Each structure stands twice: as structure tokens, then as C-alpha cells.
Amino acid sequence: MATIDYYFSTLSPYAYLAGTRLEAVATRQNAQINYKPLDIMALFGRTGGTSPKERHVSRQEYRLIELERQATKLGMEMNLKPAHWPTNAAPSSYAILAAQSAGGGDVGALVHGLLRAVWAEERDIAQDDVIKSCLESAGFDVALADSGLLAGAEKYAQNLEDAVKAGVFGAPFYVTDDGARFWGQDRIEDLEQHLAG
């Protein structure tokens, strides 16, 4: 079975626009997804990137144009300037890691639910009630939001190290077990072609 290391941030608008297409690809290609949420701002700092708010105004403007185009193309609701962005991504990331470890629910639905909360529902994913709501909607025990925080913090930090070592520099980023790398929600089709051989 092929494996996809999926590096992303629960704050990434492009990870939101990916929807659940990665999960559909994994199902079709009999692949397993390792969800690896990370600190995107730390990744930018380690790999020569800059945060959106520090970019030249022309880059900031074009980013919004492109996000709107992609959302329209995909038929997805999107608030280009959400009320709770940026926020602390760590608690939601820890919940994803705990859910992935515990099993019993749909991790892809959890990830997309958290991203949708930011980019379409004006909810703050740093808040416990929002995280628990997303856990419940994806079929997980809401107590996962309160457990395994230390393990989650360690894994969250390790995901950043793994990302840098794997050549990851943005989100979403997909790395297959044979080392092929794909950056961006608009490369999911390419990822599937690679998995299909």
C-alpha cells in the first residue's frame, strides 16, 4: 500500500480548498494518508518563505485574487478575510494527531471540518468548543481535545522537522513513500497520476 505524508496547516486557505479530494485519491489508489499538521510560520522561517502579512502588497493582493478564483472554480464558500485568522493552530493540530492515533472516526473529515470552520464559518479553531464540535462531527470522542496534549506537542514539533528534511516548504504539501513531492491543492491530480503509475 502506498503512503502519502500530508503536510498542512489548519490555517492554510489552500489546504481548505483541497477539500477532501486527497482522501478520494487515497481511496481510489489504495493509499494510506499520514496527516502531519505543522507550524506553517515556522516552516516559512526555516525554508526561506515569508508570512502573508509580510509579503509585498502586490503579492498580498494577488493571493486574494487567486484564492477567490480557486474557491469559485471549486464551488466552495470562502471568506477571504476570516475573523479568526490567524489564530493559534496548535490546539486543533494536537486534536488531529490525537484523533489519528485513537482511530474510530474520519480524520479527513476532521481536518476539513477545522479548515472549513476558519475559512467558511467564522469560527476560532483555537477554542475548545470549536475543536470538540469538529471532533464530534467527524465521529471522534470529544475527550480527545483534552488528552494527549504533550504527545501532540511533541509530534507537532517533529512534523516540522520531518517536513524540512523532506523538502517541504508550503502547505498543502504531499510526499509519497518513494519521495515524490507535490505542492498545492492544484497538484492533487498530478499526485494521483503518480500513484497510478
What lies within 8 Å, CB to CB, of 9 at 6+ separation is 15, 37, 38, 39, 40, 89, 93, 171
User: For position 63, what pLDDT does the model report?
Assistant: 96
Tens of pLDDT, residues 92-118: 999 999 999 999 999 999 999 999 999
- Between 3.90.550.10, 3.40.50.2300, 3.40.30.10, 3.40.630.30, what CATH number should domain 2-196 receive? 3.40.30.10
Tens of pLDDT, residues 117-143: 999 999 999 999 999 999 999 999 999
Strands 181-183 and 173-176: antiparallel
Q: Report the alpha-carbon distance of residue 101 to residue 124 in Å, rounded.
A: 24
pLDDT > 90? residue 148: no
Tens of pLDDT, residues 13-52: 999 999 999 999 999 999 999 999 999 999 999 999 999 9
User: For position 3, what pLDDT does the model report?
Assistant: 98
What band does 189 get if pLDDT is binned at 50, 70 and 90?
Answer: very high
Tens of pLDDT, residues 69-82: 999 999 999 999 99
The ranges assigned to domains in the chain are: 2-196
